[in-house]
Homo-oligomer: A and B are copies of this chain.
Amino acid sequence: MLAVSISKSGISVPRVRTLKKGETLFEEGEAAAHVYQVVSGSVRTSKLLGDGRRHIDAFHLPGESFGLEAGAKHRWTAEALSPTGVIGMRRSDLEELTAQDPAIAAAVLKTTMRSLQRAQDHMVLLGRRSAREKMAAFLLDMAERVANGQRRFELPMRRSDIADHLGLTIETVSRVLTQFVRNGLIHVAGGGWINLRDVPALRHVEG
């Protein structure tokens, strides 16, 4: 979606930026001057609450975009989970493009509606699901997104990220994973590698 802009005149070419693991792309409260799309690696968008609690809005994987805001400022902090490449486009350029080309406007709207759908699904998860259900849903979703439905894949985030995304503590995340391993639903190896051994059972747990 962002890549279209290259062909347009008078609009700067989107810049590629590489980020090291843990590097911050932008912070909550900063002027939201750019919109980004992940090329490789992964990004988390998060928010720190007053008392130190953290919430992770979403993990962004290759092909997914983030950073588009209704207001002037970023409402989230964006950090790379692993070595990551993103392309950034000036927000003003995007606005110009959407004003000129209805097809681009439609594409931006569709992307935003998909984010909304994702957020809505996640609300159901956070509001009405148990720890086991949350973890099963998370693992299945990740398999889909990081590995195109392959059962073996590498999680780019650590336990604390998963916890802050699912509204749990790292201890609960760890305990549920251990339980899944014991029940033969998954296999956990070093380096964040996960193997979903029993997808139907995970789907059943997911509810």
CB distance from A64 to the nearest CB of B (A): 14
User: This chain: how many copies in the complex?
Assistant: 2
A112 to B112, CA, bound (A): 7
One of A13-21, A48-56, A193-201 contacting the partner = A48-56
Interface of A is mostly: helix
Q: Which residues of B contact A47 (CB under 8 A)?
A: 124
Set B105, B109, B116: member contacting A119, Cβ < 8 A: B116
Q: Which residues of A line the B interface, CB within 8 A?
A: 47, 49-51, 53-55, 57, 68-70, 75, 98-100, 102, 105-106, 108-110, 112-117, 119-120, 122-124, 126-128, 164-167, 207
Task: Please determine whether B123 and A55 come into contact, CB atoms closer than 8 angstroms.
Answer: yes
Which residue in chain B gives the minimum CB-CB distance to A45? B120
Set B115, B127, B164: member contacting A167, Cβ < 8 A: B127
